[in-house]
Amino acid sequence: METDTIFAVSSGAGKAGVAVVRVSGPASARSVERLAGSVPPARVASVRSIRGRNGEAIDKGLVLWMPGPASFTGEDCVEFHVHGGRAVVAGLIEALSGFHGLRAAEAGEFARRAFANGKLDLTEVEGLADLIDAETEAQRRQALRQLEGRAGRVFDTWRERLIGILALCEAGIDFADEDDVPAGVSGQVGPAIADLCAEMARELADGGRGEMIRDGVTVVIAGEPNVGKSSLINALARRDVAIVSELPGTTRDAIAVRLDLAGVPVTVVDTAGIRETADAIETEGVRRARDHAARADLVLWLVERGTEQNGDLAVGGSEAWFVETKVDVRGGEAGLLTDDRFGISAKTGSGIAALIEALATWIGDRVGSGTDSLITRARHRTETMTALAALERAGRLDYVADGDLVAEELRAAANALGRITGRIDVEDVLDAIFGQFCIGK
């Protein structure tokens, strides 16, 4: 498989003005010669007639020849930029399929070859995937920062520092008979470990900003039946996504809408009215509503203006805001009433803008600008915590008496950091990482 030449459509599916078909591998040059007559100058867009195996013209387009290692994958690559009609693309793919040594690429295989050839580390690969999937400005900024290698450089620097500390520690072990070495090592190893522990702990204490930007925030609308939950989600979505009815129990299952607030993807979930009921289906809806509320980042607990509050927020450990609804009918002020209490009318729109502004501010306070988060995935956090735990164990040992144990803990910490960037022992995560890509990337 390492010598296979792979090809795929790298642009989006369906009809388009231009489609890009990418080829990577040792037979790339031969495919250009067969299809376009000759290999064009490197990295110069050349207009060529592209012909099939029978000599019949498929299209006239641009050919880009990028010999390795100066290419995305590190291999010889060629891109055919043709008109994006389905028949044109299908004809080009059929022609490539007929050449010996060429095969269709698997999902993420171009990126995987770039990783294998040292063009990208795993954090950069993940940044590329996140950039392709980015829905909001904050996601784009964070993904681009990671793709540029800023996160990977930090993890690599930590690992290099660990290896340096390990070298000091092993010097103390190997030259224990030299009177001045153990004392000198002890004086350097302790502060170095303490400094590195402090840096890792600061990054881990970021409140999960990076993961929140990447995965988004969940806001659940909850409350008793007929308090205006469905009307509120319709107002936030600016379209009718939920059925609004005066009949209690209309909403039986959760309805989710994706919004962009403060550059962060926000999933707003409308839930069934929470009450005691003998209806089996509605009971299940209430159970799901409580479950969604308990797992939410924020719960908007709706009550009608002037009604008694039953105190059953059903939110578990989630943060909750009170939202008084139907102020146009019940009377009362619209907008921000206190830090965590609002008055709204979904019918007239009063107070909705103030609620959205407050949500955007709350999200912005939690995630920051989206450009300074080092840890963006659970995988990064887990390995960093593993490295920190090993370092802390090393810091509690006596560097002279327990030098071997200190060295072993330092190796464990360095290995954990190496797994983040893919320097060592990452076979178990490669399929999961590259499997998220589309075909052609």
Closest CA to 358 of 311, 298, 270, 419: 298
User: Residue 36's pLDDT is what?
Assistant: 92
The boundaries of every CATH 1.20.120.430 domain in the chain are 123-206+375-434
Sign of dihedral through CA atoms 433, 438, 439, 441?
Answer: negative
Distance CA 390, CA 365 (A): 32
* Residue 241 pLDDT > 80: no
Q: What is the mean pLDDT of the chain?
A: 84
DSSP state of 304: E
Sign of dihedral through CA atoms 177, 179, 180, 183?
Answer: positive
The boundaries of every CATH 3.30.1360.120 domain in the chain are 5-105
Tens-digit pLDDT profile for residues 332-356: 677 777 777 888 888 888 888 888 8
* Residue 25 pLDDT > 90: yes
Tens-digit pLDDT profile for residues 275-284: 777 778 877 8
> Contact 129/107 with Cβ under 8 angstroms?
no
User: Residue 13's pLDDT is what?
Assistant: 77
User: Residue 50's pLDDT is what?
Assistant: 94
* Residue 428 pLDDT > 80: no
Average of per-residue pLDDT across 26-53 = 93
Beta bridge partners of 47: 62
User: Residue 174's pLDDT is what?
Assistant: 53
Most confident among 185-199, 225-239, 371-385 (mean pLDDT): 371-385
User: Residue 249's pLDDT is what?
Assistant: 55
The boundaries of every CATH 3.40.50.300 domain in the chain are 213-367
Q: How many CB atoms lie under 10 A from the CB of residue 146?
A: 27
Degrees (nearest 5) of the Cα angle 270, 275, 280?
A: 90
* Residue 72 pLDDT > 90: yes
User: Residue 1's pLDDT is what?
Assistant: 46
* Residue 140 pLDDT > 50: yes
Average of per-residue pLDDT across 60-68 = 95
Q: Which residue has the higher pLDDT, 264 or 96?
A: 96
* H/E stretch holding 293: helix 280-295
User: Residue 53's pLDDT is what?
Assistant: 79
For domain 5-105, give the CATH number: 3.30.1360.120
When mean pLDDT is compared across 214-223, 288-297, 335-344, 391-400, the lowest value belongs to 335-344
Average of per-residue pLDDT across 398-425 = 84
The pair phi, psi for residue 269, each rounded to 5°, is -115, 120
The pair phi, psi for residue 120, each rounded to 5°, is -140, 145
> Contact 222/299 with Cβ under 8 angstroms?
yes
For domain 213-367, give the CATH number: 3.40.50.300
Most confident among 80-84, 205-209, 222-226, 419-423 (mean pLDDT): 80-84
Task: Classify residue 275 as exposed, middle or buried by CB count within 10 Å of its CB (0-12, 13-18, 19+).
Answer: middle
* Residue 327 pLDDT > 60: yes
Which superfamily does CATH assign the domain made up of 123-206+375-434 to? tRNA modification GTPase MnmE domain 2 (1.20.120.430)
> Contact 363/217 with Cβ under 8 angstroms?
yes
Beta-strand relationship, 319-325 and 77-84:
unpaired
Q: Which residue has the higher pLDDT, 25 or 277?
A: 25
For residue 112, what are the CA distances in angstroms to 115, 127, 439?
5, 13, 12
DSSP line for 324-390:
EE-HHHH----EEEETTEEE--TTT-TTHHHHHHHHHHHHHHHHTTSSS-S--SHHHHHHHHHHHHH
